[in-house]
């Protein structure tokens, strides 16, 4: 990590305050008051939340912290699926819609809580029949279909540790993850459907398990009926086949609060992916609490998170959080550009989505194609709109707020990580929103911006984003690599170093600048790639931008920008000069790109993050390293 920063914050103090009714009716109530209550007694704060859920055995202690290891809800026993399913079926939500799925062909599948519990139970019994036991790892490599969620919940029900791998990963990435987790079973589908095309998942799995000695069985959801893919007897099994001739009920496995619930791989800035381990009790409490309060989910909401369950966003905010709350969740395989750029707005209108959660990269893509597309649809069902994954630059905020939220819906820009398991920083619904700033820590979370020694830096000065105390849904270890876990808490002594750079405003609002490793030092000044990108994107002709540092004999580094123009603009020398001038005026001469290249596409991870490393390697004619997370 770098040592110092020259980030200077220009305080523009522009806020948007939502209608007072939002705050009055919110679960969290008054943010300041809730935050004070948490600080006064953190254990009591979390205990109150945990009591809203069902436990087989209560905890002896809320948190046991032996730096850098935490145990939450010590000696408690539970099963997360009892809270996501049985609790609702036994209560008032038996017939409530838990899940609505929409396919590209318009096909819709709807599951009540009762029906979902039935499917999960039978699939769990099917897995048991294959010999899956508590603690076994199961790899799930599936498209966005209800079966993907059913597989995850079935694992959780019998105590198997799932490792979901996003279905966009290729053979070697999948192989690496299967081997690292030593998965006994792989659950997949014959095909996934994207933009009218069938992508054969099963062949990728078949190749990926050639050198995966741990794998005993492959379970295949066969979507193609004529003819269905053939199954290799004894090893390959039909998804619904294993659900035949099993009991309709499957008792929940009793899990210790600290038993692992899942492993999820995340790319580090260097080296192989890290298997982030989350546990049953703390993760459940964090997912439940944040879903309920950050999205302020109410009984009548229809909630759509556009992520794939293959990412942490999907784990926490499609599967475990919303189901623990008892919400109605919408999912779809439909991409935002197919059959046209209105597809998602059409779905919001048709499904009457009230809470919508997406990523800045999607928002900026929508900005590029123009507001005519969303304006064709009635989006008045929307109540709250969210963002996650990277900084939501002020221009994207303004557009999202005005064009999608109709200057009415609060935006919850949520900062968190695979490692944190739940949202950590946001602007709670009802609080004033500040474009460019993610917000403040949610009650239950304590963060700060510090120098490399952990000393808080003054407002307006850049520093490292740190988390100052353990939280229930924090990662417990990196699978088979605890040394990498300890790095999170040892990089800056005593606190969790998120690896992000941030600035705090004088109002306590936090602006996340970007990854600590995405900083470019130009003439001794540290420039955030995200800062320059944000400046470029604030120009009316720019849709997206990515900047990298290029070695420069005199300055150390020079900034090169890759720019995608909005439709209706064409590259020209005049435009290049306009952009340079624009950045100069916005950020100052030191941040001015020395070179601008107009491009049609930027290399991105499947979660939508620009891979500057790949741009840089290409630019310098170097090896790009691990590109397993690259989109295409
Ligand atoms: C990194 C974590 C958490 C789910 C998606 C990504 C960046 C995430 C924001 C935000 C600015 C953000 C950070 C963080 N990030 N949300 N609202 N504003 N930056 O999970 O792949 O584990 O990535 O994403 O840099 O460290 P992930």
CATH code, domain with 362? 3.40.50.12780
Domain of 85 in residue numbering reads as: 81-253
Residue 219 lies in a domain: yes
CA atoms within 13 A on the CB side of 36: 5
Give mean pLDDT, residues 217-224: 97
Ligand 1 pocket test target in 312, 360, 389 with most atoms within 8 Å of CB: 389
pLDDT of residue 11: 63
pLDDT of residue 2: 42
Residue 486 lies in a domain: no
CA of 422 to the centre of ligand 1 (A): 11
Identify the burial level of 473 via C-beta atoms within 10 angstroms of its C-beta, where 0-12 means exposed, 13-18 middle and 19 or more buried: buried
pLDDT one-digit tens code per residue, 145-164: 999 999 999 999 999 999 99
Residues 374 and 468 in one domain: yes
pLDDT of residue 556: 65
pLDDT of residue 251: 98
Residues 392 and 271 in one domain: yes
Name the least confident of 421-435, 470-484, 574-588, 591-605. 574-588
Residues 64 and 110 in one domain: no
The three-class DSSP label of residue 48 is helix
What gap in Å lies between CA 102 and CA 107, rounded to an integer?
Answer: 6
Q: How many CB atoms lie within 10 A of CB 23?
A: 19
Q: Does the pLDDT of residue 406 top 90, yes or no?
A: yes
Provide the CA 45 distance to its chain's centre, in angstroms. Answer: 25
CA of 392 to the centre of ligand 1 (A): 11
pLDDT of residue 176: 87
Residue 380 lies in a domain: yes
Residue of the CA atom closest to atom 12 of ligand 1: 390
Residue of the CA atom closest to atom 23 of ligand 1: 417
Q: Which atom number of ligand 1 is nearest to the Cα of residue 387?
A: 17
Residues 365 and 290 in one domain: yes
Residue of the CA atom closest to atom 6 of ligand 1: 389
- The domain that contains 580 carries what CATH number? 3.30.300.30
Q: Which atom number of ligand 1 is nearest to the Cα of residue 392?
A: 18
pLDDT of residue 557: 76
Residues 98 and 245 in one domain: yes
Residues 281 and 163 in one domain: no
The fraction of the chain above a pLDDT of 70, given in percent, is 94
Q: Which atom number of ligand 1 is nearest to the Cα of residue 498?
A: 26
pLDDT one-digit tens code per residue, 465-487: 999 999 999 999 999 999 999 99
The fraction of the chain above a pLDDT of 90, given in percent, is 79
Which of 253, 277, 311 is where one domain is finished? Answer: 253
Residues 225 and 278 in one domain: no
Q: How far is CA 197 from CA 191, 193, 332, 414, 589, in A?
A: 9, 6, 15, 33, 47
Residues 328 and 430 in one domain: yes
Give mean pLDDT, residues 373-383: 98
CA of 50 to the centre of ligand 1 (A): 26
Q: Does the pLDDT of residue 381 top 80, yes or no?
A: yes
CA of 390 to the centre of ligand 1 (A): 5
Ligand 1 pocket test target in 396, 416, 475, 509 with most atoms within 8 Å of CB: 416
DSSP letter, residue 319: I
Identify the burial level of 131 via C-beta atoms within 10 angstroms of its C-beta, where 0-12 means exposed, 13-18 middle and 19 or more buried: exposed
Confidence of residue 10 (pLDDT cuts 50, 70, 90): low
Residue 632 lies in a domain: no
Closest CA to 499 of 475, 523, 533, 535: 475
Residues 195 and 162 in one domain: yes
Confidence of residue 316 (pLDDT cuts 50, 70, 90): very high
Residue of the CA atom closest to atom 13 of ligand 1: 390
What is the pTM assigned to this prediction?
A: 0.86
Specify the number of domains making up the chain: 3
Residues 436 and 567 in one domain: no
Residue pair 501/514 in contact by the 8 Å Cβ criterion: yes
CA of 496 to the centre of ligand 1 (A): 15
Confidence of residue 4 (pLDDT cuts 50, 70, 90): very low
DSSP letter, residue 350: H
pLDDT of residue 518: 67
Q: How far is CA 602 from CA 31, 512, 597, 598, in A?
A: 39, 22, 11, 10
DSSP letter, residue 226: S
Residue 60 lies in a domain: yes
What gap in Å lies between CA 185 and CA 505, rounded to an integer?
Answer: 49
What gap in Å lies between CA 278 and CA 421, rounded to an integer?
Answer: 7
pLDDT one-digit tens code per residue, 237-255: 999 999 999 999 999 999 9
Name the least confident of 116-130, 261-275, 292-306. 261-275
pLDDT of residue 170: 76
Q: Which atom number of ligand 1 is nearest to the Cα of residue 418?
A: 22
Which of 210, 229, 253 is where one domain is finished? Answer: 253
Name the least confident of 20-24, 123-127, 476-480, 591-595. 591-595
Which of 227, 253, 279 is where one domain is finished? Answer: 253
Confidence of residue 271 (pLDDT cuts 50, 70, 90): very low
Size (the chain), residues: 632
Provide the CA 478 distance to its chain's centre, in angstroms. Answer: 18
Q: Does the pLDDT of residue 408 top 70, yes or no?
A: yes
Q: Is 444 left (phi over 0), alpha (psi -120 to 50) or beta?
A: left
Residue 454 lies in a domain: yes
Residue 631 lies in a domain: no
Q: Does the pLDDT of residue 267 top 70, yes or no?
A: no
CA of 343 to the centre of ligand 1 (A): 26
Name the least confident of 130-134, 524-528, 576-580. 524-528
Residue 544 lies in a domain: yes
Furthest C-alpha separation in the chain: 73
- Ligand 1 shell residues, CB under 6 Å: 266, 312-313, 388-391, 413-418, 438, 498-500, 512, 515, 607
CA of 485 to the centre of ligand 1 (A): 18
Confidence of residue 535 (pLDDT cuts 50, 70, 90): confident
What gap in Å lies between CA 514 and CA 392, rounded to an integer?
Answer: 11
Q: How far is CA 32 from CA 27, 288, 444, 468, 511, in A?
A: 13, 21, 12, 18, 19
Give mean pLDDT, residues 3-20: 71
Q: How many CB atoms lie within 10 A of CB 133?
A: 12
Q: Bridge partners of 262?
A: 162, 278
Name the least confident of 211-215, 338-342, 612-616. 612-616
Give mean pLDDT, residues 275-280: 97
Confidence of residue 201 (pLDDT cuts 50, 70, 90): very high
Q: Does the pLDDT of residue 420 top 60, yes or no?
A: yes
Confidence of residue 521 (pLDDT cuts 50, 70, 90): low
Residues 169 and 278 in one domain: no
State the Cα torsion 302-306-312-317 to the nearest 10°: -10
CA of 323 to the centre of ligand 1 (A): 23
Question: Inter-axis angle of helices 113-129 and 146-158, to 10 degrees?
Answer: 60
Q: 46 CB contacts (<8 Å, ≥6 apart)?
A: 62, 63, 72, 285, 444, 472
Q: Does the pLDDT of residue 589 top 90, yes or no?
A: no
Strands of 243-396 (E only): list them: 255-256, 260-266, 274-279, 302-305, 328-332, 355-358, 384-388
pLDDT of residue 269: 44
Phi and psi dihedrals of 268, rounded to 5? Answer: -85, 170
pLDDT of residue 270: 44
Residues 229 and 267 in one domain: no
């Amino acid at each position: 990590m770098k040592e110092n920063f020259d980030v200077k914050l220009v305080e523009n103090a522009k806020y948007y305050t939502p209608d007072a009714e939002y705050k009055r009716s919110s679960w969290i109530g008054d943010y300041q008051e809730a935050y004070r209550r948490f600080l006064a007694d953190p254990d009591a704060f979390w205990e109150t939340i945990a009591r809203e859920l069902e436990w087989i055995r209560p905890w002896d202690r809320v948190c046991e912290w032996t730096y850098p290891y935490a145990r939450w809800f010590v000696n408690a026993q539970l099963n997360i699926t009892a809270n996501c399913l049985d609790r609702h079926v036994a209560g008032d939500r038996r017939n409530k819609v838990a899940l609505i799925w929409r396919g590209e062909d318009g096909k819709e599948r709807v599951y009540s809580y009762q029906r979902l519990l039935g499917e999960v139970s039978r699939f769990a019994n099917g897995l048991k029949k294959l010999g899956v036991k508590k603690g076994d790892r199961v790899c799930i490599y599936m498209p966005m279909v209800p079966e993907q969620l059913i597989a995850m919940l079935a694992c959780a029900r019998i105590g198997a540790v799932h490792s979901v791998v996003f279905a966009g990963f290729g053979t070697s990435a999948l192989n690496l993850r299967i081997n690292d987790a030593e998965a006994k079973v792989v659950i997949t589908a014959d095909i996934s459907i994207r933009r009218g095309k069938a992508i054969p998942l099963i062949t990728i799995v078949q190749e990926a398990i050639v050198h995966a000695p741990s794998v005993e069985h492959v379970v295949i959801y066969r979507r193609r009926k004529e003819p269905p893919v053939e199954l290799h007897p004894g090893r390959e099994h039909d998804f619904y086949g294993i659900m035949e001739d099993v009991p309709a009920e499957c008792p929940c496995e009793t899990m210790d609060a600290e038993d692992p619930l899942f492993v999820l791989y995340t790319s580090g800035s260097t080296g192989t992916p890290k298997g982030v381990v989350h546990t049953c009790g703390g993760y459940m409490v964090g997912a439940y609490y944040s879903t309920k309060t950050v999205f302020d989910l109410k009984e009548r909401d229809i909630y759509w998170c556009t992520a794939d369950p293959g990412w942490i966003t999907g784990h926490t905010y499609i599967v475990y959080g919303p189901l623990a709350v008892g919400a109605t969740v919408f999912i779809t395989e439909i991409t935002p550009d197919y059959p046209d750029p209105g597809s998602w707005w059409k779905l919001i209108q048709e499904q009457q989505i009230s809470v919508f959660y997406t990523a800045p990269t999607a928002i900026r893509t929508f900005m590029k194609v123009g507001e005519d597309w969303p304006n064709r649809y009635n989006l008045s069902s929307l109540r709250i709109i969210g963002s996650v994954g990277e900084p939501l630059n002020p221009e994207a905020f303004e557009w999202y707020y005005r064009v999608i939220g109709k200057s009415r819906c609060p935006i919850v820009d949520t900062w968190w990580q695979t490692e944190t398991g739940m949202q950590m920083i946001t602007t709670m619904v009802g609080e004033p929103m500040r474009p460019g700033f993610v917000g403040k820590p949610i009650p239950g979370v304590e963060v700060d911006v510090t120098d490399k020694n952990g000393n808080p830096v003054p407002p307006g000065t850049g520093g490292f984003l740190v988390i100052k105390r353990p939280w229930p849904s924090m990662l417990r270890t990196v699978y088979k690599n605890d040394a990498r876990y300890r790095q999170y808490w040892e990089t800056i002594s005593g606190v969790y170093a998120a690896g992000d750079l941030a600035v705090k405003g004088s109002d306590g609002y936090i602006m996340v600048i970007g990854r600590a490793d995405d900083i470019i030092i130009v003439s001794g000044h540290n420039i955030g790639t995200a800062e320059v990108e944000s400046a470029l994107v604030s120009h009316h002709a720019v849709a997206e931008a990515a900047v990298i540092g290029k070695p420069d004999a005199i300055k150390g580094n020079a900034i090169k920008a890759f720019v995608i123009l909005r439709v209706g603009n064409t590259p020209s020398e005049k435009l290049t000069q306009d952009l340079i001038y624009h950045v100069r005026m916005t950020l100052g001469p030191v941040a001015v790109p020395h070179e601008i290249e107009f491009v049609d596409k930027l290399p991105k991870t499947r979660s939508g993050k620009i891979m500057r490393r790949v741009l840089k390697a290409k630019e310098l004619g170097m090896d790009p390293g691990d590109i397993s997370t690259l989109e295409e």
